[in-house]
Structure 1
Amino acid sequence: MTRTSAVPLRLVPGPRGLPLLGNLPAFGRDPLGFLVRLRDGYGDAVRWSLGPRPSVFIFHPEHIAEMLGGVERTYEILDIGWAFRQVTGDSVILSKGAAWRRKRALVQPTVRPRQVRGYAETMVDCARAVADGWRDGGRVEVFREMALLTQRVVLRTLFGNDLGERRHVLGDAMAVAEREVGAELHGVSLFLPGWIRTPSRRRLLAALATVDAEVGRLIGDRLAAGDTGGERDDLLGRLLAARDDEGRPLTPKEVRDEAVTLWAAGHETTSTALTWAWYLLSESPPARARLTEELDRVLGGRPPGIDDYEQLVWTQQVVKEALRVYPPAWLIPSVACEGATLGGQPMPAGTIVWCSQWATHRDPRWFPDPAVFRPERWGADAPDAVPDHAWFPFGGGQRTCLGARFALVEAVLVLATLAQRFEVHVDRCEVGPAPGLLLQPATPLRATLRAVDRAGQA
């Protein structure tokens, strides 16, 4: 049943835009600043225009919850550009209606808590391998280290091995594809028809040719070996073994689309969250000291496991607060269908309704001193309760990210594994986010490693 907001919607006109382009130039120059100006200068529901289509931005958690809860009923997912669809294809993330329900039923079992429990050992093993290569006083670029780590995790959990040297070929191609998708999301090319081949689109297609060749080879090898019954305990094996209510499997193209989507969702999203977590911990010595204390108390020097996850309370709070301050996914658009409403007001069919994790996560009404990193906000004894959907890094409603549990467990276990052995001191500098497909640091985060001094241990 669709949730109806108890907060009335008061829709006001936003800034005037240019003919045809609307507010796209202002949004493209400074997306995050533009969103904050809409929120602070106009209110919780603002009309604006991104190109020729009418749009509304909503900022109140009640309205966000209602809109996300109405997806697949009175709202539908917006197809956010030619480039994005080239990467994800017709996967569960963009499918609609009966096709979406079928694919969700086939994909969801691959990332349920029981399956994630089985992947936890791989997450920790990959993190330990990284820590074994770190040295006291060593220098690293944080995002690169986290990206290589989460890449290996997703390859081992998705394909059953890390592909050796081929992982660099696949990883580099996916990085190009994700960068070009992000560039299109707030540029004029977002509105260009698919047959127009800009330089960015040519780079994207070249990268995806590599991705499709590599993933297609892996799928083909499994099919040639007759491995379609889930003999391999990895995500690819589970996708090949999945059957719908009529006994139909996913086609090789559908398996490709889901595998690439799981790769994109499970790799750079988590590496981005971990990168911001290290940056914020480096800027907050008391939070880092409390993390060290918890790891010593809970783990006693041994590597973490899935059974430690619930006991690593402060580590979880660090991850949640990092996801609040710098949410990797920062923008969600949906399209109103016939009969859609928000806050008791009708929403004309075809209107694009947008919400932003960045803008709502940093709203001082829900998070006092919103730019300040305070993991204690998430403690059981925190004085200020966080409203539902004031924090929504994984979306909400039926379209909540299927890999949310996987991502949270991975971030907590990886952070715990590395932090019990090393402190990561990021160089002091002005660091801001660069909004693309994900919200990543605009400049490299270079850091010095310091081995954790644990008395009585070698």
Structure 2
Amino acid sequence: MSQLPRPPAPPSLPLMWKLLRARQHLSPLHLSLAREYGDVVWLRAPGVNTYLVSTPALIKHYLAENAVNNYVKHPGPVARTLVMGESISTMEGPGWLRHRRLLQPGFQRERMLAAVPKMVEVFQHELDTHWEPRVRGGEPLDVLPAMSSLVLSVLGPLVCSEEVPQDVRDAVYRYMRFAFEPDPLLHQLGVLPEAVVRYDSRRRHPLARESGRRINKYAWDMVRKRMGMSEQPDDMLGMIIDARDAAGERMKEVEVRDELVELIYGGQFGTSSGLSWMWHYLSLHPEVFQRMGDEVERVLGGRAPAVTDLRDLQYVTQVFDETLRLHPPAPGQGRIAIKEDTLGGYHVPVGTTVFGSTYAMHRHPDYWTEPEVFDPSRFAPEKVKERPRFLYLPFGAGQRVCIGSMLASLMATLSTVLLTQRYRLEAVPGKKVRPLTGGAHFPDNLWLKVLPARAGAPASRPSAVAG
């Protein structure tokens, strides 16, 4: 048995009370615990045995350097739900590696960049048909579902060469809220009978099951149609269906279905949440919005963006990166020790959950000046080079870094440019945004008014790229 000590730990009963009080947004509690107890904190409470980690070197250790030998994402088989199955976000071991290799060609850099004109075309159509009426009507915008639908408008053509129907987009958002919202206090305490918990969940999310069924039907219908074709279109789904593993085998029908759901359902969340938070901050910081608009005008001069413009839209990228620093879509990176380990001089027994709090690390005062301040200049290229690796992890790290991180960044940049050319978003009086952190981190009750980019001027569609 190891003679190394365990990390410092807050008293169990006060910790449990703090966890329950902070149940809807745990990340600030993680930050305060890290500042009080250090970069490794042992969270001990009934049903809790976790090492909270908030420094880059230690996160690098368990996510990269010792990840394969000592840690797994989860300890056993994935439970299939109405919507989610076994995909690269939930699988472990050889099955995960096989799926990752089969999916990787669809996310190659050259392929993503070649899709930029299509993304711009689809975004423009979505703004023409769904956003322009809001401007004319003067109605406020519920931002998170609007951004979710906007991102899905592009994912559909890229993934399966078809527009995702609006009712499916609505179902994705409703089921996402059901899946990611923090559970009420009484649910977390475990004092209610299971039947009562299920009843209360149905009461709070009356359309969740119907939404899950709609997503499931959409996925199965699409996969069965496409796998019945003799030749696949040139899209992500076609590449998945045609891909062969080392043994020359294709994915089974259910495997293709699960990865399609991952792409459509899981693939939109990080970008839509990040965009929602970004426009919230832009509504609070008109000077940042002005600088971003000046860059867009200087680079594009009123036309639509092209691939060659991306390197010159640096500040737009910095604004999104800074947003993800303050509000990373994933609360952190959790792994379970399957062998004993040493972390920061402390003993890690088998079965311990090691959780790197992205939120706490993104606000660590040793690495960020005035960490609570929204400041996109932090992500100027020269400053990024100075920071250690594994400090900024909005898309994870190590071998399980998000396969779609480049696609997410492209969708964020292009949609932001096109929105900036047309609109400015202002806060709605009386509406206070509320951060929620359950299965993911996202804004609740975020409403903004959509107005023309210049006061008194009509919104306009950027002209096509010359040539």
Q: TM over 0.5, yes or no? A: yes
2:350 & 2:186 partners in 1: Cα distance?
24
SS at match of 2:449: strand
Counterpart residue number, 2:369: 368
Q: Which amino acid aligns with 1:46?
A: V
Residue 174 of structure 1 aligns with an amino acid whose one-letter code is V
Identity among equivalent pairs (%) = 28
> Once the 2 structures are TM-superposed, how far is the Cα of residue 381 of structure 1 from its aligned partner?
4.2
The structural deviation recorded for 1:186 is 8.2
Q: Is the 8 A contact 1:22 1:48 kept in 2?
A: no
Q: Which residue of 1 aligns with 2:102?
A: 106
Query: Partner residue of 1:63?
Result: 58
Contact 1:81 1:190 in 2 (8 A): no
Query: Aligned partners of 2:305, 2:425: CA distance in 1, in Å?
Result: 19
Task: Please say if 1:212 is aligned against 2:216.
Answer: yes
Specify which of 97, 118, 122 is matched with residue 122 of structure 1.
118
Alignment-derived partner of residue 166 in structure 2:
168
Aligned to 2:152: 151
Structure-2 separation of matches of 1:297 and 1:84: 50
Say which SS state the counterpart of residue 17 (structure 1) adopts. helix
- 1:72 CA displacement: 2.9
Corresponding position of 2:259: 258
Distance in 2 between the 1:307 and 1:84 partners? Answer: 43
Shift of 1:103: 0.9
**Quick one: structure 1 residues 107 and 381, their matched pair in 2 at CA, closer, same or farther if it must change by over 3 Å?**
closer
Q: CA deviation at 1:112?
A: 1.6
Q: Distance in 1 between matches of 2:167 and 2:45?
A: 36
1:43-58 equivalence runs, <5 A: 43-49=38-44, 51-58=46-53
Report the TM-score when normalising by structure 2: 0.85
Counterpart of 2:28 in structure 1 is 33
Query: Is the 1:420–1:452 contact (alpha carbons within 8 Å) kept by the matching residues of 2?
Result: no
Q: Which residue of 1 is the match for residue 348 of structure 2?
A: 347
> Secondary structure of 1:175's match?
helix
In 2, the alpha carbon distance for the partners of 1:281 and 1:9 equals 46
1:5 match: none
The answer as to 2:380 corresponding to 1:379 is yes
Q: CA deviation at 1:340?
A: 2.9
- The offset of 1:153, in angstroms, is 1.0
Deviations 1:214-233 (A, max 9, x none): 11011111122234xxx312
Deviates more, 1:116-125 or 1:308-317: 116-125
Which residue of structure 2 lines up, in the alignment, with residue 409 of structure 1?
A: 410
> Quick check: 1:10–1:45 contact (8 Å CA) kept in 2?
no
Aligned partners of 2:453 and 2:444: how far apart in 1? 27
The 3-state SS of whatever aligns with 1:295 is helix
Instruction: Indicate conservation of the 8 Å contact 2:116/2:307, yes or no.
Output: yes
State the match for 2:433 in structure 1.
431
Choose which of 69, 76, 79 in structure 2 pairs with 1:73: 69
Which position in structure 2 is the counterpart of 1:3? none
Q: What is the aligned counterpart of 1:90 among 65, 86, 89? A: 86
Q: Is the 8 A contact 1:331 1:354 kept in 2?
A: yes
Counterpart CA distance in 2 for 1:313 and 1:107 is 29
Post-superposition shift, 1:81? 11
| Cα distance between partner residues in 2 of 1:371 and 1:76 | 32
Q: Is the 8 A contact 1:315 1:412 kept in 2?
A: yes
Indicate the SS of the match to 2:331: coil
Alignment of 1:272-291 (within 5 A): 272-291=273-292
**Comparing 138-147 with 182-191, which one deviates more in the overlay?**
182-191
Tell me how far 1:394 sits from its aligned partner.
Answer: 0.4
Give the C-alpha shift of residue 26 in structure 1. Answer: 4.2
Distance, in Å, in 2 between the alignment partners of 1:83 and 1:297 is 51
How much does 1:317 deviate? 0.5
Structure 1 position 14 matched with structure 2 position 14: no
Provide the secondary structure at the position in 2 that maps to 1:449: strand
Matches of residues 327-342 of structure 1 in structure 2 within 5 Å?
Answer: 327-342=328-343
Q: 1:371 to 1:24 in 2, by over 3 A?
A: closer
Identify if the C-alpha distance between structure 1 residues 50 and 16 changes in structure 2 by more than 3 Å, giving closer, same or farther: closer
CA contact (8 A) 1:71 1:399 kept: no
| 1:243, distance to aligned residue in structure 2 (A) | 0.8
Amino acid at match of 2:146: E
Q: TM-score normalised to the size of structure 1? A: 0.87
Quickly say closer, same or farther: Cα 1:328–1:105, change in 2 above 3 A: same
Give the C-alpha shift of residue 432 in structure 1: 3.2
CA deviations on 1:188-244 (whole Å, 9 max, x unpaired) are 76898xx966233896554333222111011111122234xxx31221111111110
Select between 426-435 and 94-103 the one with higher mean Cα deviation: 426-435
Aligned letter for 2:171? A
1:289 CA drift (Å):
1.4
Deviates more, 1:270-279 or 1:395-404: 270-279
Distance 1:33 1:370 in 2: 13
Q: Greater CA deviation, 176-185 or 139-148?
A: 176-185
CA RMSD of aligned residues (A): 3.1
Greater mean deviation of Cα atoms: 114-123 or 271-280: 114-123
Encode CA deviations 1:331-360: one digit per residue, 9 max, x unaligned: 221101214332344411110111222121
Deviation of residue 22 (structure 1)? 8.8
Counterpart of 2:313 in structure 1 is 312
Cα distance between partner residues in 2 of 1:341 and 1:139: 56
SS in 2 for 1:447: strand
Name the amino acid aligned to 1:436. G
Equivalent residue number for residue 322 of structure 1: 323
Structure 2: which 5+ runs fail to align? none
The amino acid that maps onto 2:339 is E
Residues 431 and 101 of structure 1: CA distance in aligned 2, closer, same or farther (over 3 Å): same
Cα distance per residue 1:8-65 (max 9 Å; x no partner): 998211231389x797534525413321221122211111146524211111121112
Q: 1:83 to 1:319 in 2, by over 3 A?
A: farther
Paired AA for residue 242 in structure 1: A
C-alpha distance 324-14 of structure 1, shift in aligned 2 (>3 A): same
Between the aligned partners of 2:75 and 2:448, the Cα distance in structure 1 is 36
Name stretches of at least 5 consecutive residues in structure 1 with no aligned partner.
1-7
Q: What SS class does the counterpart of residue 222 from structure 1 fall into?
A: helix
Structure 1 residues 440 and 113 mapped into 2: Cα distance closer, same or farther (>3 Å)? same
Q: Deviations over 1:340-392 (max 9, x none)?
A: 33234441111011122212112222222212111101113449933322210
Relative to structure 1, the CA distance from residue 79 to residue 444 in structure 2 (aligned partners, 3 Å threshold; closer, same or farther) is: farther
Distance 2:346 2:322 in 1: 33
Structure 2 vs 1, CA of residues 123 and 90 (structure 1 numbering), >3 Å: closer, same or farther?
same
Q: Deviations over 1:86-119 (max 9, x none)?
A: 5431111121111111111011111121221233
Write the deviation string for residues 134-158 of structure 1: whole angstroms up to 9, x where unpaired: 2378344132322221111111211
